[in-house]
Amino acid sequence: MAEVLLRDRFERLGVDATVSSAGTVSEGRPASGGAVEAMRERGLDLSGHRSRLLTPELVQSADLVVGMAREHVREATVACPGRFGRIFTLKELVRLGEGCGARRSESIERWLDRVGMGRKPASLLGPDSHDDVADPIGQPLAVYQAAAAEIDDLVDRLADLLWAHAAAPADGAGREPGARVASELGEPEPRPSAARPAVEPRPEPEARAAPIGNGAAPTLRVAVGSDHAGFALKAHLIEVLTKLGHEVLDVGTHGPEPVDYPGFCAGVGRAVTYGAADRGIVVGGSGQGEQLAANTVPGVRAALCNDLFTARFSRAHNDANVLSMGARVVGEGLAEEIVATWLATTFDGGRHQRRVDQLTALEAAAGDRKAQDALIESLLHGRPAD
């Protein structure tokens, strides 16, 4: 939705800006029906939209990358860390821009430097979502309409900040050379690319790097488990996993009645370590207890991932084999993104393999206090980490 709203706004302003969008989950998917209808009501056509995958090249070549949520800013920053200063959520950029004043004679790059003064990548690690636009996926049309109204307002305000000095010519002549505005951050499919506009004056490269997340996940056997708090989200994820072609082993619980989580989560861990499943997913209220329960099974490396950044690096750096999520923390759309990212990301190996081997050795020594103490001392006084 942001893509077509931005394009329409810039065309009306007379700004020569090119707008495109990209995501992190799949290629070639249409926008959701709710998004198409919400745009149709505004006289805009989203029916021909098809998703495409975000690449580091797209982020690198963009003058400005804008996401609907902080999650999307993290994704683009992971793809291209050196471009953090050009990556914002739409709401954050408008808020900061209105605080420091509209661009006048300065370049977009100089204005962004001024707007983003003091921002640090470390700020992306927290759960703060006050600069997010609410995710409408899976909701009634009224929710899409509300999201469209919010995005439309933010787009108008952003356009005023960037091109307040640009008068729209009546005949289309004398259009101001603008920049390319490309929406470039991940959303779950079939969610529309309402997330992510970015500005690029350069043409997109013909060749594409592998998408972040190391591409589409192969078909896997996935064990899933939850308590009552995670039951509904687990049921939804089972449908999603099945549609993606994965084989699902549902350990339980099998209903919304209150239950204790440890057995179900340990059962998922056992399925993974016994070879009945390639990966495991456990879901609870926050996901914390579920992670702890799964990690009681030797050989399990369960990671609590309620955001995409953690999901990606739990696989790339820690070779996590069980994913834990909190149904009261993430919605269905974000949960789908997290699962897709986690399943698609491969282990980097290298120095990370050495660290995983150390974890395995510590776990193996857990039954022998003396041996474990000796191993800990050895690791404490070993060579410096790289």
Question: Which residues form the catalytic set?
Answer: 317
The answer to whether the beta carbons of residues 181 and 208 sit under 8 Å apart is no
| Residues counted in the chain | 386
- List the structure tokens of 202: 């350069």
Whether 261 and 293 have beta carbons less than 8 Å apart is answered as yes
Q: What is the CA radius of gyration of the chain?
A: 23
Alpha helices in the chain (DSSP H): 2-13, 33-40, 56-61, 70-79, 90-100, 108-115, 141-163, 231-243, 262-273, 288-294, 308-316, 332-344, 351-364, 369-380
Q: Is 182 within 8 Å of 62 (Cβ atoms)?
A: yes
The Cα 78–Cα 186 span in angstroms is 12
Bridge partners of residue 20, in order along the sequence = 182
